[in-house]
């Protein structure tokens, strides 16, 4: 699995198979070779790029088996792209037994040329006891272990465990350490059918964060567009479902916010393949076979329409906001969103340092999200008692982006107190007003009237307010130090930017631009998010003041030679790393002897870094062997 774009646990990725790449997130439509509803050509025209079919059904049917064995499953389905085959686990669960063993059904999948083959795992119902679910987990792993090494198909190792999160964790770890290269989450269809999305949040997250991040996560049966955004937010890469035909069989149509009965539809949406070709009455009055086919086309289009929107939200790094807004479309979905908020602490470590898009603040629920958790944690360091006194500015005197008047700067530099400004239901240091997300946001303004204690107003005569402590300091220098503390950890700013630093501002915008020391560029402040990009001189200081693996990615000696010249770091050359690395933050690239070789931006978070073997791990912007940087406006 290779990351192309990311947004927390969600990712647009590329997964390679023998018959081509699968770009995620996507869905594999279920194809029943016994009952073809739509042709593969029709489904490809609607967005399908890979399919899943059931090898057990094929094997039990003499005609289908003979054709698949002779010509392959791709010929059987009339499709030359990636095809995954299921093993008959669900049939085994429903009918108590199947006539083929695990080894036999896997051998059959390999024989017919499946790109992704699935073991005959043990299905776990949501009401299974802990002991029974554990037996299923261990037996499923035993069945994977009994297979010889396989290299002619990608093996799918389902993660089971019912609603016991310790077993989901166990199963994810066992399957990740096996030869499985693909990790479906099993035993969830009953939860999906009963809209138990809140339980699904627990199941998916427990499976995802304990699995190998380099292997795709597949949600078996997760084909309703209403829950897809939240599932992808939790790390699901691939879905499969026959929902497009199941709903059509009941004359129901899928939409992003739920399903609707054909008898209650007034018109077709513009994105539907039925729009402009059929009226609602024509579809209602069509023969059962034709109506079934047309509704299946609409339903499949609804699924791919939602996936296309999800991919765009990931690209824009707005998926959390999208899910937060969409969660109000159905009570069961909102209940799942509240469960999602309970996991914000676990999700925070996967959030990027900043986002491409503006941060949205809706209401108090927004404060419980993972990015807010990071803000609270970092602000806790900055506003600890040992930082001195704090004074909160009145909202009447707080104007984002315009607080730094000459009068304010003059007053600030004659004091030793720290000043806070209102921000939604909390307060932040005034020095961070241009740092993401404090200025790069749109707020509903729905804040609690009693959420902030306001103390004091700035006098118009320029005199210090009564009772305020006097002092002497440089506003620009304090600003860059506070940003450094927020970005790299409390206490970093003063060490990274000593008193002798020169802080320059842009001639065109007046905003902070760069920090130099003895003519060497320490850091540049990024205009889009207010965080630092380090120069080699700054990286050297951060290296000297950071102990152990802190802020580091250790690479092989061969890689270090190229990274020192400014080339990117690839995952396969990473040996060790700081597990606390934040995706999108600055990291130090060092060799085994801890010699600094480059500085760059991490593509992945620390918990993910050790899993990937394809793609860029650190986007290097300066190597130690490149020419010295020059500060430019």
Q: Using an 8 Å Cβ cutoff, are 500 and 447 in contact? A: no
**SS3 assignment, position 217:** strand
pLDDT band at 443 (very low <50, low <70, confident <90, very high): confident
Q: Out of 86, 202, 485, 591, which one is annotated catalytic?
A: 86
Distance separating alpha carbons of residues 29 and 37, to the nearest angstrom: 11
- Pair type for strands 512-517 and 502-505: antiparallel
Question: Can you give the length of the chain in residues?
Answer: 633
Instruction: Please state which CATH number belongs to domain 481-623.
Output: 2.30.130.10
Distance separating alpha carbons of residues 106 and 100, to the nearest angstrom: 10
Give pLDDT, residue 455: 45
Give pLDDT, residue 463: 60
Give pLDDT, residue 471: 77
Instruction: Give percent of the chain with pLDDT exceeding 90.
Output: 77
Question: Which of 60-64, 203-207, 273-277, 629-633 shows the lowest mean pLDDT across its residues?
Answer: 629-633
Q: Where are the alpha helices (DSSP H) in 398-535?
A: 406-413, 475-488, 492-496
Average pLDDT over residues 545-562: 97
> In Å, how far are 37, 374, 426, 603 from 320, measured between CA atoms?
35, 15, 21, 19
pLDDT at 453 over 50: no
**SS3 assignment, position 86:** strand
**SS3 assignment, position 308:** helix
pLDDT at 618 over 90: yes
Torsion of CA 123, 126, 127, 129, to 10 degrees: 60
Give per-residue burial for 279-302: e unless 16+ CB within 10 Å, then b: eeeebeeeeeeebbbbbbbbbbbb
Mean pLDDT of the chain: 91
pLDDT band at 390 (very low <50, low <70, confident <90, very high): confident
Give per-residue burial for 93-104: e unless 16+ CB within 10 Å, then b: beeeebebebee
Following DSSP, what letter does each residue of 387-425 receive, concatenated? G--EEEPPGGG--TTT---HHHHHHHHTB-SEEEEEETT
Q: Which residues pair with 600 in a beta bridge?
A: 587, 620
End-to-end Cα separation, the chain, in angstroms: 39
pLDDT at 393 over 90: no
Average pLDDT over residues 538-562: 97
Taken in order 575, 569, 604, 183, the sign of the CA dihedral is negative
Instruction: Write the burial class of residue 386 (CB in 10 Å: 0-12 exposed, 13-18 middle, 19+ buried).
Output: exposed
Average pLDDT over residues 266-286: 97
Q: Where are the domains of the chain?
A: 2-260+299-341, 349-473, 481-623
Q: Domain 2-260+299-341 belongs to what topology?
A: TIM Barrel (3.20.20)
What are residue 582's phi and psi, to 5 degrees?
-100, 130
Average pLDDT over residues 200-207: 98
Give pLDDT, residue 376: 87
Respond yes or no: is residue 578 known to be catalytic: no
- 10-40 tens-digit pLDDT: 999 999 999 999 999 999 999 998 888 899 9
Distance separating alpha carbons of residues 353 and 141, to the nearest angstrom: 37
Average pLDDT over residues 371-382: 85
- Structure tokens of 315? 């690209």
Average pLDDT over residues 255-283: 96
Average pLDDT over residues 354-369: 91
Q: Where are the alpha helices (DSSP H) in 78-123?
A: 89-95, 102-111
- Structure tokens of 237? 């890469």
- 118-165 tens-digit pLDDT: 999 998 999 999 999 999 999 999 999 999 999 999 999 999 999 999
- 333-361 tens-digit pLDDT: 999 999 999 999 999 999 999 999 999 98
pTM for the full model? 0.94
Distance separating alpha carbons of residues 625 and 563, to the nearest angstrom: 9
Instruction: Write the burial class of residue 406 (CB in 10 Å: 0-12 exposed, 13-18 middle, 19+ buried).
Output: exposed
- 94-109 tens-digit pLDDT: 555 677 899 999 999 9
């Amino acid at each position: 699995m290779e990351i192309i774009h990311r947004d927390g646990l969600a990712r647009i990725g590329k997964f390679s198979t023998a018959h081509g790449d699968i770009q995620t997130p996507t869905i594999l439509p279920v194809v029943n070779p016994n009952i073809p509803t739509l042709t593969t050509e029709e489904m490809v025209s609607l967005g399908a790029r890979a399919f899943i079919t059931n090898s057990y059904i094929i094997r039990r049917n003499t005609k289908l088996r003979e054709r698949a064995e002779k010509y392959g499953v791709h010929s059987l389905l009339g499709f030359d792209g990636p095809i995954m085959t299921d093993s008959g686990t669900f049939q085994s669960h429903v009918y108590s037994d199947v006539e083929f063993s695990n080894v036999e059904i896997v051998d059959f999948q390999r024989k017919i040329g499946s790109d992704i083959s699935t073991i005959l795992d043990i299905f776990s119902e949501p009401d299974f006891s802990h002991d029974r679910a554990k037996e299923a987990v261990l037996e499923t792993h035993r069945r994977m272990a009994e297979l010889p090494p396989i290299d002619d198909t990608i093996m799918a190792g389902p993660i089971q465990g019912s609603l016991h999160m310790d077993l989901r964790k166990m199963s994810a770890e066992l399957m990740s350490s096996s030869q499985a290269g693909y990790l479906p989450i099993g035993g969830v269809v009953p939860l999906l059918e009963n809209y138990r999305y809140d339980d699904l949040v627990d199941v998916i997250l427990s499976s995802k964060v304990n699995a190998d991040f380099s292997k795709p996560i597949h949600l078996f049966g997760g084909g309703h567009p209403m829950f897809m955004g939240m599932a992808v937010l939790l790390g699901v890469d691939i879905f499969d479902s026959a929902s497009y035909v199941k709903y059509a069989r009941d004359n129901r149509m899928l939409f992003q916010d739920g399903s609707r009965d054909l008898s209650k539809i007034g018109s077709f949406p513009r994105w539907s393949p039925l729009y402009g070709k059929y009226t609602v009455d024509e579809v209602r009055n069509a023969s059962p076979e034709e109506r079934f086919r047309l509704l299946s086309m609409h339903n499949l289009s609804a699924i791919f329409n939602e996936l296309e929107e999800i991919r765009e939200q990931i690209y824009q790094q707005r998926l959390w906001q999208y899910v937060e807004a969409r969660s109000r479309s159905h009570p069961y979905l909102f209940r799942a969103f509240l469960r999602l908020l309970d996991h914000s602490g676990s999700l925070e470590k996967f959030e990027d340092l900043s986002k491409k898009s503006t941060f949205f603040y809706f209401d108090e629920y927004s404060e419980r999200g993972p990015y807010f958790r990071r803000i609270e944690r970092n602000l806790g360091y900055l506003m600890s008692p040992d930082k001195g006194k704090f004074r909160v500015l009145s909202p009447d005197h707080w104007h984002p982006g315009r607080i730094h008047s000459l009068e304010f700067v003059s007053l600030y530099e004659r004091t030793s107190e720290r000043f806070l400004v209102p921000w939604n239901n909390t307060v932040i240091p005034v020095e961070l007003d241009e740092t993401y997300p404090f200025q790069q946001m749109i707020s509903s303004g729905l804040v609690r009237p009693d959420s902030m204690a306001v103390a004091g107003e700035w006098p118009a005569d320029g005199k210090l307010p009564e009772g305020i402590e006097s002092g002497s300091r440089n506003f620009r220098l304090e600003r860059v130090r506070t940003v450094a503390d927020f970005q790299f950890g409390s206490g970093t700013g003063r060490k990274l930017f000593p008193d002798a630093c020169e802080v320059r501002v842009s001639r065109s915008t007046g905003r902070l631009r760069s920090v130099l020391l003895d003519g060497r560029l320490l850091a540049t402040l990024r205009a889009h998010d207010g965080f630092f990009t380090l120069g080699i001189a700054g990286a050297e200081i951060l290296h000297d003041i950071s102990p152990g693996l802190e802020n580091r990615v250790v690479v092989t000696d061969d890689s270090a030679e190229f990274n020192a010249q400014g080339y990117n770091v690839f995952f396969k050359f990473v040996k060790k790393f700081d597990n606390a690395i934040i995706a999108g933050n600055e990291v130090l690239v060092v060799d085994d002897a801890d010699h600094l070789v480059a500085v760059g931006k991490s593509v992945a978070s620390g918990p993910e870094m050790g899993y990937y073997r394809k793609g860029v791990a650190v986007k290097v912007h300066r190597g130690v062997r490149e020419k010295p940087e020059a500060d430019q406006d």
